[in-house]
Amino acid sequence: MTAPVSPADAAGTGPWTARWLALAGAVSMFLVQPPADLWALAWVAPFPWLWLVRSRGAIPWGTLFAAGWLHWMLTLHWLRLPHPATSLGWIALSAYLGCSLPLFVAAARRMTGAWGWGLVVAAPVAWVGLEQARGWILGGFTLGALGHTQWRVLPLLQVADLFGACGVGGVVMTVAAALATALPAPPGCGAAARHPAGTLGVLAGAGALLGLALAYGGWRLATEPAVIGAARSCLDVLLVQGSIDTELKHDPEAAGEVLDHYDGLTRAGLAEDDRLPDLIVWPETMWRYGLVDIDPAERLPEAVVDRVLGPATEPPSAALDQRRQRECREAIETERRAALAAYARRYGTAWLVGVDRQEVDPRLPTGARYFNTAVCLDGTGRIRARYDKMYPVMFGEYVPLADRIPWLQRLTPLPAGLTAGREPVAVDLEGCRIAPTICYETTLPEAIRAIVNRLAAAGSRPDVLVNLTNDGWFWGSSELDMHLTSAVFRAVEVRTPLVVAANTGFSAVIDGAGRIRARGPRRATATLRAVVATDGRESPWLTWGSVPTGVTVAILAVALTGCFREWLRRDPAAARGAGTAAPGPLQTR
């Protein structure tokens, strides 16, 4: 759809038009994210989009959508790297996220226009509401959030245990809106005149909010337990970071090379210290020989039974057939586990490793379930616990309904979709309780909160979260930075140290205040040996989660409903003359 622009824009004042402002905002908001990572500019980067909210002229909806789409295409450029087919997902996801910009401008304009709110209130409410809604819809997407740019500002970061990463982004947007209100709008923006008395109040209010946030952060840091104390549980952990770029179609012949790669790094890491660590961690799926569990209802082909057990030496009978089927199932399952156990005994200590796991069951429409699993073994090779990833990525790890309609899976390059695990797992190691998570679960605030709360309700609140991830899909790109930043925020939100073992990086040790105590290199090998001290502090966010920021989602919904009703009521002839009429939030024809 196209629309007339405001009189100021029509006057032709160079680049300061709605189109240029939208484009400038797309670029400036991209530059504060990795790979440019000009994070300190995040306090002014929203200016072009805020000036669009302040402007009184009509804005083409298509212009805003195109700018939002461009912003996310730049920010998520790494989605094109795993496979040619993922470029389609990159385009589609960016288009979906690109809708946020027109919705932000429309909602904020309605709040400032019809409701009479100041920009310093309307902008953060609309922004936080959209970021929170994005974290809820379609499984949630939180990468590239405005608050993530401030992970280095330790006092401000502590606000995350109140309102999550969205709350930190709200503080940044509030300050940006105050500054945008105080400064003259660019020529051609058509903004209303400034009022000096109101400007001082706006700046004072935003400054007070920032001061409160920093003061709260300072207080939380002051109440942090000592780094290492006799009264605190500590875990000596060895994180093994290999560097293997991953392709969507795995080469079965490369499984041995991957094993040798990680085994060599592990033994080298162990050799650096006479003391064994309490825990060794390998990244997600780096044990390439998958585990299998076969349901007794599955009848194995005779050729498979003969190959595993050898030809039968007794006369055929139903009892013999049942016995050989059972023995073959057990032999196949045991063989896969025995190899894991042998390496655990070699290391002589607890080992948490990522594997693929398959459950074969003829009663399933697809004949099997597939899990992304973390297995914890002790130094004798005994499996202590097994965690199946509970929050697989939609369209990245599974296709909705493909478990019931198998042909949907064939429309994607994925060999098989993952089944979500049912329960979180906690493992006691040397007086310290760990809870594994896998891959992008650390990008989902509510997922980590649910894991911690469910374990706490069962009397097993984790002292340390462990994330196993394979970021080798992204070839050392800025995805690594964004994934690590998400882990920093999760550690603060739940006040629990979090360690990451990542193929190609970034492996890291993060304490409960969000400090990165150790970090591996980008797209290179490393072994990180660190003592992780528990935090033990309570987090308000564990209690109320996204309820406070959910209020902004409700306000956003009311504002957008009003925009939609206004658009439906608008007379088409009046809309065509909107350049001289009182503008709505977005005017289109």
HEC string of 127-182 equals HHHHHHHHHHHHHCCCCCCCHHHHCCCHHHHCCHHHHHHHHHHHHHHHHHHHHHHH
Assess whether 197 and 250 both reside in one domain: no
Give CA–CA dist 270/277, Å, rounded.
Answer: 8
As for how many domains the chain has, the answer is: 2
Whether 583 is in a domain gets the answer no
CATH of the domain at 276: 3.60.110.10
φ, ψ for residue 245, nearest 5 deg: -65, 135
Assess whether 174 and 291 both reside in one domain: no
Assess whether 514 and 557 both reside in one domain: no
Assess whether 167 and 258 both reside in one domain: no
The predicted model scores a pTM of: 0.91
* Sign of the dihedral through C-alpha 216, 218, 222, 228: positive
**What SS3 state is found at 454?**
helix
Assess whether 317 and 280 both reside in one domain: yes
Give the number of other Cβ atoms within 10 Å of residue 421's Cβ: 20
Give the number of other Cβ atoms within 10 Å of residue 582's Cβ: 8
Assess whether 201 and 238 both reside in one domain: no
Give CA–CA dist 575/554, Å, rounded.
Answer: 28
Of the candidates 404, 315, 420, 321, which has an alpha carbon nearest to the alpha carbon of residue 364?
A: 404
Whether 345 is in a domain gets the answer yes
What is the per-residue pLDDT for 570?
75
Distinct helix (H) and strand (E) counts, the chain: 18, 13
Give CA–CA dist 75/59, Å, rounded.
Answer: 24
Assess whether 217 and 239 both reside in one domain: no
Give the number of other Cβ atoms within 10 Å of residue 428's Cβ: 12
Whether 484 is in a domain gets the answer yes
Domain region containing 444: 234-536
Q: How far is CA 581 from CA 567, 574, 589, in A?
A: 14, 8, 14
What is the per-residue pLDDT for 361?
94
**What SS3 state is found at 385?**
strand
What is the per-residue pLDDT for 407?
56
Give the number of other Cβ atoms within 10 Å of residue 309's Cβ: 14
Whether 323 is in a domain gets the answer yes
Give CA–CA dist 75/69, Å, rounded.
Answer: 10
Peptide bond into 362 cis (omega under 30): no
φ, ψ for residue 374, nearest 5 deg: -110, 125
What is the per-residue pLDDT for 411?
58
DSSP per residue, 196-212: HHHHHHHHHHHHHHHHH
The per-residue b/e assignment along 113-134, b for 16 or more CB within 10 angstroms, e otherwise, is beeebbbbbbbbbbbbbbbbbb
Whether 584 is in a domain gets the answer no
Of the candidates 169, 255, 232, which has an alpha carbon nearest to the alpha carbon of residue 532?
A: 232
Whether 160 is in a domain gets the answer yes
CA neighbours closer than 13 Å in the CB half-sphere of residue 464: 30
What is the per-residue pLDDT for 11?
38
pLDDT tens string for the chain (589 positions)? 333 333 333 333 333 578 899 999 999 999 999 999 999 999 999 999 999 998 877 788 899 999 999 999 999 999 999 888 889 889 999 999 999 999 999 999 999 999 999 999 999 999 999 999 999 998 899 999 999 999 999 999 999 999 999 999 999 999 999 999 998 877 666 555 454 547 898 999 999 999 999 999 999 999 988 654 444 578 999 999 999 998 755 677 789 999 999 999 999 999 999 999 999 999 999 999 999 999 999 999 999 999 999 998 888 899 999 999 999 999 999 999 999 999 999 999 999 999 999 999 999 888 899 999 999 999 999 999 999 999 998 877 766 665 666 655 565 656 667 899 999 999 999 889 999 999 999 999 999 999 999 999 999 999 999 999 999 999 999 999 999 999 999 999 999 999 999 999 999 999 999 999 999 999 999 999 999 999 989 999 999 999 999 999 999 999 999 999 988 887 554 444 444 334 444 443 3
Assess whether 19 and 133 both reside in one domain: yes
Whether 349 is in a domain gets the answer yes
Assess whether 291 and 375 both reside in one domain: yes
Assess whether 203 and 292 both reside in one domain: no
Whether 119 is in a domain gets the answer yes
CB 484 within 8 A of CB 37: no
Assess whether 194 and 110 both reside in one domain: yes
CB 480 within 8 A of CB 508: no
Assess whether 382 and 531 both reside in one domain: yes
